[in-house]
Amino acid sequence: MSTLTEENYKSASVRRKRLRQLWIAFLLFPAVTILATFVFLPMISAIWYSVYEWDGLVRGDFVGLANFAEVLFNPQSNKFLFNAFFNNVKVFVTLMIVQNGLALALALLLAREPKGYRFYQVVFFLPVILSTVIIGFQWKLFLNPIFGLVNTFLRMVELDSWALPWLGLPETALGSMLIVNAWHWVGFPTLVFLAAIHRIPKDLIEAARLDGASEWNIARDIIWPLMAPAVTIIVVLTFIGSFNWFEIPYIMGGLEGSPAYSTDMLGLLFYRTAFGSVSAGNSDFGTGSALAVLIFIFIFTFSTIATRYLTSREVELS
């Protein structure tokens, strides 16, 4: 097939080639325009905004890196930055272990095609297609300390002391939100892992089994290295998702990372700073933009390093 098109190319006139290029450019145009307008332009304008002083939404004087210094070195603002950053780190680590770990376990189970596995595949994936807003509100109701489903159930089975105000205690709020997030998203990595496992030639596994390898050894020494590309994707996506985490904490804990900043995230901090809120104060585009630029640099740098590293350890199936 490929030789055929190559021959076609060789015999085709320069004009036809031009036409094809034009056609490609035409097809790319909408995507590039949208990307430029909604991704690159805001990014560049954020950098532009971050070097000015702002009085609400009115641009003031050029201040160089003063906004960055304010965000990073003023003890009254960097305590929020570090607190939020540390919370995002907690989110990443927890989601890697709980969400992706569970997804891997589920994928390994489903790959063995137990009875009704197609049904489970759909069930696990179902929450992924629901809107995050709906899930946030629904779980907020489930976790209500007085009327909520979770505590009603706990009281029913006489575990009254377990019926905590989950979203109200600084110790449990973030954990509860992470469980909700894992419930919401676990289907996605499961599906990616499952697809990766299906890609592994069956005879490889059969051969190992004939040689007397245990199921654990097969999973560790054959399946795991061969599904590395899928792991790369999921790790990088989880990293980006964790450091951009916004919807669930916003819906379930509010803009202030309630209670007492225990669920504060970089995204919430940015939103509060840049746009202000009724009680948090007035909008400040300067420090807000500086914060956004810092978040972007951090995520970009680390996801690039992670991608490089993880790709280098991928095993090619040939």
Partner 1 sequence: MTNLKRLATSAILGAATFAYAGTALAQTELSFWSWRQEDVKAYNQIIAAFEEQNPDISVTFTAHEAKSYNTILTTALAGGAGPDIMHTRSYGSLEAIAAPGYLEPLDGQIDLSALSADELLGTTLRADGHVYAVPFASQTALVFYNKDLFEKHNVDVPATWEEFKAAADAFKQNNVNPLANGIADGWTAEVMAGALMPNFYGKEFFGEVTSGSADFEDPRFVGALEKIAELKDYMPTGYEGVDYATMKQLFIAGQAAMFVGGSFEIPGFVESGVNFDIMPAPAAKAGDERMVATWLDGGYGVNASSENKEAALKFIQFTATQPFAQMLSDKLANVPAVDGAVIADPMLAKVSAFHAEASPYIMLVGFRFNTPTGSTLLQNGLQELLTGKKTAAEVAKDVSDGIKSAK
Task: Using the minimum distance from each CB to partner 1, give the nearer residue, 277 or 307.
Answer: 277
Going by C-beta distance under 8 Å and a sequence separation of 6 or more, which residues neighbour residue 317? 199, 200, 201, 226
d(CA 249, CA 258): 9
| 127 or 254: CB nearest partner 1 | 254
Tell the smallest beta-carbon distance from residue 138 to partner 1 (Å).
14
Helix, strand, or coil (residue 200): coil
In the complex with partner 1, which residue's Cβ is closer, 241 or 286? Answer: 286
- Between residues 170 and 225, which has the closer beta carbon with respect to partner 1? 170
19: tokens are: 């036409």
Per-residue string for binding with partner 1, 53-92, x by CB under 8 A?
--xxxx-----------------x----------------
By CB under 8 A, tell whether 237 contacts partner 1. Answer: no
Give the shortest CB-185-to-partner 1 separation in angstroms: 24
Describe the crossing of helices 266-275 and 75-94 by its angle, rounded to 10 degrees. Answer: 140
* DSSP string computed for 271-290: HHHHH-BTTTB--BHHHHHH
Of 147, 203, 210, 318, which one interacts with partner 1 (CB under 8 A)?
Answer: 147
Whole-number Å distance between alpha carbons of 262 and 172: 9
Query: Looking at beta carbons only, is 53 or 314 nearer to partner 1?
Result: 53
Least CB distance to partner 1 at residue 20 (A): 42
Calpha distance 205→184 (Å, rounded): 32
Contact set for partner 1, span 241-280 (CB under 8 A)? 254, 256, 258-261, 275-280
Give the ranges where the chain is alpha helix by DSSP (H): 2-11, 14-35, 41-50, 66-73, 75-94, 101-111, 117-129, 132-142, 149-156, 173-185, 187-199, 202-210, 215-217, 224-226, 228-243, 247-253, 266-275, 285-312
242: burial class by Cβ within 10 Å (0-12, 13-18, 19+)?
Answer: buried
Binding-site string for partner 1 from residue 155 to residue 194, where x marks contact by CB under 8 A and - marks none: --------xxxxxxxx------------------------
Binding footprint of partner 1, residue count (CB under 8 A): 36
| C-beta of 164 vs 233, nearer to partner 1 | 164
Choosing from 145, 175, 183, 307, the residue that interacts with partner 1 (CB under 8 A) is 145
To the nearest whole angstrom, how small is the minimum distance from the Cβ of residue 68 to partner 1?
Answer: 17
CB of 32 to partner 1, least distance (A): 26
How far from 260 is each of 79, 151, 171, 256, 313, CA to CA, in Å? 13, 23, 11, 8, 42
Q: Which stretch binds partner 1 (CB under 8 A): 35-43, 144-152, 196-204, 302-310?
A: 144-152
Chain positions contacting partner 1, by CB under 8 A: 55-58, 76, 140, 143-147, 151, 163-170, 254, 256, 258-261, 275-284
